[in-house]
Amino acid sequence: MSSTINSSSTNSRAQIKVVHIYPREMSIYGDLGNTRALASRLRWHGYEPVVHQHHPGNDFPADAHLVLGGGGQDSGQARVEDDLAHNADVLRALAADGTPMLMICGMYQLFGNAFITVEGERLPGVGILDVTTQGNAKRMIGPVVLETAYGDVVGYENHSGSTQLAPGQQPFGTVRSGMGNNGTDATEGAVTGNVFGSYLHGPVLPANPRFADALIKLAVERALGEPFVPGAIDDEIADQARTRQVRRLVRR
Amino acid sequence: MAAGKAARAASRLRGGGSALPGLVAERVDPAFLTHALAGLPHGIVVVTGTNGKTTTTKMLVAILRRHGRTVFTNPTGSNFTRGVISSMLGELRLSGRLEADMAVLELDEAHALKFAAAVRPTHALLLNVARDQLDRFAEIDHTAKLLAELAGQTTTGVVLNIDDSFVSRIAGHVAGSGVEVRYFGVDPSIADRLPELQEADVRFEDDFAPPAPTASDGLLKPKDDRMFEVLFGDVPGSADNVGPLELKQRGLAAMINATAATTTAKLLLGNDFRADQAVAALEEVTPPFGRGEVIDADGQPLELVLVKNPVGFTVALGTYGSTPVTSMVAINDNYADGRDVSWLYDVSFESLRDKGVALTSGVRAYDMALRLKYDDVAVAEVEPDLDVALERFLTAYKDEPKRIFCTYTAMMALRRDLAARYGLANFGEEARS
- Cβ distance B50 to B26 under 8 Å? no
The number of domains in chain B is: 2
- Domain end marker among B256, B284, B312: B284
Tell me whether B313 touches chain A (CB under 8 Å).
no
In this structure, are B197 and B88 located in the same domain? yes
Size of interface A-B (CB pairs under 8 A): 86
Instruction: Compare CB distances from A139 to B138, B140, B364 and report the shortest one's residue.
Output: B138
Tell me whether A142 touches chain B (CB under 8 Å).
yes
pLDDT of residue B93: 65
- pLDDT tens per residue, range A196-236: 999 999 999 999 999 999 999 999 999 999 999 999 999 99
Q: Which of B134, B309, B343, B345 to mutate to test the interface with A (most CBs of A within 10 A)?
A: B345
CA-based nearest residue in chain B for residue A243: B366
- Angstroms from B368 CA to nearest CA on chain A: 9
Domain annotation covers residue B428: no
Residues from chain A that touch B140, judged by Cβ atoms under 8 A, are 28, 73
- pLDDT tens per residue, range A110-125: 999 999 988 888 889 9
Tell me whether A55 touches chain B (CB under 8 Å).
no
Residues from chain A that touch B367, judged by Cβ atoms under 8 A, are 207, 241
B275-284 and B53-66 helices cross at what angle (nearest 10)?
A: 130
Tell me whether A136 touches chain B (CB under 8 Å).
no
CA-based nearest residue in chain B for residue A36: B374
- Angstroms from B418 CA to nearest CA on chain A: 27
**For residue B312, pLDDT beyond 70:** yes
CA-based nearest residue in chain A for residue B365: A241
**For residue A177, pLDDT beyond 90:** yes
In this structure, are B158 and B62 located in the same domain? yes
The CATH number linked to B365 is: 3.90.190.20
Q: Which of B17-21, B115-119, B143-147, B413-417 has the lowest mean pLDDT?
A: B17-21
Residues from chain B that touch A33, judged by Cβ atoms under 8 A, are 342, 344-346, 371, 374
Residues from chain B that touch A201, judged by Cβ atoms under 8 A, are 340, 342
Tell me whether A49 touches chain B (CB under 8 Å).
no
Tell me whether A78 touches chain B (CB under 8 Å).
no
Please, which contacts does B291-299 make with residues 24 or more away whose CB atoms are closer than 8 Å? B291/B54, B291/B55, B291/B249, B292/B249, B292/B250, B292/B251, B292/B254, B292/B319, B295/B418, B295/B422, B295/B424, B296/B422, B297/B394, B297/B402, B297/B418, B297/B422, B298/B394, B298/B398
Tell me whether B370 touches chain A (CB under 8 Å).
yes
Domain annotation covers residue B429: no
pLDDT of residue B79: 57
DSSP of B35-98: HHHTT-TT-EEEEESSS-HHHHHHHHHHHHHHTT--EEE-TTS--SHHHHHHHHHTTB-TTS-B
Please give the ipTM for the structure prediction.
0.93
Q: Rounded to an integer, what distance in angstroms lies between the CA atom of residue B169 and that of residue B195?
A: 19
CB contact under 8 A, A202 and B382: no
- Domain end marker among B284, B317, B339: B284
The count of other CB atoms within 10 Å of the CB of residue A9 is: 15
In this structure, are B188 and B265 located in the same domain? yes
CB contact under 8 A, A237 and B382: yes
B20-28 and B81-89 helices cross at what angle (nearest 10)?
A: 100
Kindly report the backbone phi and psi dihedral angles of residue A99, in degrees, each rounded to the nearest multiple of 5, phi listed first: -70, 125
- Angstroms from B210 CA to nearest CA on chain A: 21
Q: Which of B342, B364, B372, B373 to mutate to test the interface with A (most CBs of A within 10 A)?
A: B342
CA-based nearest residue in chain B for residue A35: B345
Residues from chain A that touch B371, judged by Cβ atoms under 8 A, are 33, 206
CB contact under 8 A, A141 and B135: yes
Any idea which residues of A carry the catalytic annotation? 105, 201
In this structure, are B69 and B152 located in the same domain? yes
- pLDDT tens per residue, range B383-414: 999 999 999 999 999 999 999 999 999 999 99
- Angstroms from B276 CA to nearest CA on chain A: 43
Q: Rounded to an integer, what distance in angstroms lies between the CA atom of residue B203 and that of residue B325?
A: 33
- Domain end marker among B231, B250, B284: B284
Domain annotation covers residue B432: no
- Cβ distance B345 to B371 under 8 Å? yes
Q: Is A63 or B99 the better-scoring residue by pLDDT? A: A63
Q: Which of A8, A22, A29 to mutate to test the interface with B (most CBs of B within 10 A)?
A: A29
The CATH number linked to B247 is: 3.40.1190.10
Residues from chain B that touch A143, judged by Cβ atoms under 8 A, are 339-340
Q: Rounded to an integer, what distance in angstroms lies between the CA atom of residue B59 and that of residue B256?
A: 11
- What SS3 class is residue B422? helix
Q: Rounded to an integer, what distance in angstroms lies between the CA atom of residue B4 and that of residue B12?
A: 12
Helix spans in A60-194 (H): 74-96, 106-110
Q: Rounded to an integer, what distance in angstroms lies between the CA atom of residue B206 and that of residue B130?
A: 17
Q: Is B27 or A91 the better-scoring residue by pLDDT? A: A91
- pLDDT tens per residue, range B200-237: 555 555 566 778 888 999 999 998 878 999 999 877 77
- pLDDT tens per residue, range A4-30: 444 444 444 689 999 999 998 888 788
Residues from chain B that touch A30, judged by Cβ atoms under 8 A, are 342-346
- pLDDT tens per residue, range A25-73: 888 788 999 999 999 999 999 999 999 999 999 999 999 999 999 998 7
Instruction: Compare CB distances from A238 to B135, B201, B370 and report the shortest one's residue.
Output: B370
pLDDT of residue B142: 82
**Among B131, B404, B430, which Cα is nearest to B290's?**
B404
In this structure, are B87 and B225 located in the same domain? yes
Helix spans in B165-309 (H): 165-168, 171-174, 252-269, 275-284
Q: Rounded to an integer, what distance in angstroms lies between the CA atom of residue B173 and that of residue B167?
A: 11
Q: Rounded to an integer, what distance in angstroms lies between the CA atom of residue B142 and that of residue A160?
A: 14
Q: Is the pTM of this model over 0.90?
A: no
Instruction: Compare CB distances from B202 to A28, A201, A240 and report the shortest one's residue.
Output: A28
Domain annotation covers residue B253: yes
Residues 6+ apart with CB under 8 A from B353: B375, B376, B377, B378
In this structure, are B104 and B122 located in the same domain? yes
Q: Which of A114-118, A133-137, A244-248, B87-91 has the lowest mean pLDDT?
A: B87-91
Q: Rounded to an integer, what distance in angstroms lies between the CA atom of residue B100 and that of residue B103?
A: 7
CB contact under 8 A, A73 and B131: no
Domain annotation covers residue B248: yes
- Angstroms from B390 CA to nearest CA on chain A: 20
**For residue B307, pLDDT beyond 70:** yes
Q: Rounded to an integer, what distance in angstroms lies between the CA atom of residue B170 and that of residue B129?
A: 12
In this structure, are B225 and B312 located in the same domain? no
Q: What sign does the dihedral B282-B284-B286-B292 (CA atoms) show?
A: positive
**Among B95, B70, B73, which Cα is nearest to B84's?**
B73
In this structure, are B11 and B124 located in the same domain? yes
- What SS3 class is residue B171? helix
In this structure, are B193 and B306 located in the same domain? no
Measuring CA to CA, how many Å separate A72 from each of A107, A120, A122? Answer: 8, 21, 19
Instruction: Compare CB distances from B345 to A33, A139, A237 and report the shortest one's residue.
Output: A33
Report how far Cα A134 is from the mean position of its chain's Cα atoms: 20
Domain annotation covers residue B312: yes
CB contact under 8 A, A30 and B373: no
Q: Rounded to an integer, what distance in angstroms lies between the CA atom of residue A101 and that of residue A18?
A: 10
The one-letter amino acid at A240: Q
What domains lie within chain A, and their CATH numbers?
A: 3-227+235-249 (3.40.50.880)
CB contact under 8 A, A143 and B339: yes
**Domain containing B15: what range?**
2-284
Tell me whether A190 touches chain B (CB under 8 Å).
no
Measuring CA to CA, how many Å separate A145 from each of A180, B255, B393? Answer: 9, 43, 33
CB contact under 8 A, B374 and A143: no
In this structure, are B83 and B179 located in the same domain? yes
Instruction: Compare CB distances from A36 to B340, B345, B367 and report the shortest one's residue.
Output: B345
In this structure, are B253 and B347 located in the same domain? no
In this structure, are B221 and B167 located in the same domain? yes
- Cβ distance B183 to B128 under 8 Å? no
Q: Which of A175-179, B2-6, B98-102 has the lowest mean pLDDT?
A: B2-6
- pLDDT tens per residue, range B118-162: 889 999 999 998 877 665 555 777 888 899 999 999 999 999 999
Tell me whether A237 touches chain B (CB under 8 Å).
yes
pLDDT of residue B197: 77
Residues from chain A that touch B343, judged by Cβ atoms under 8 A, are 29-30
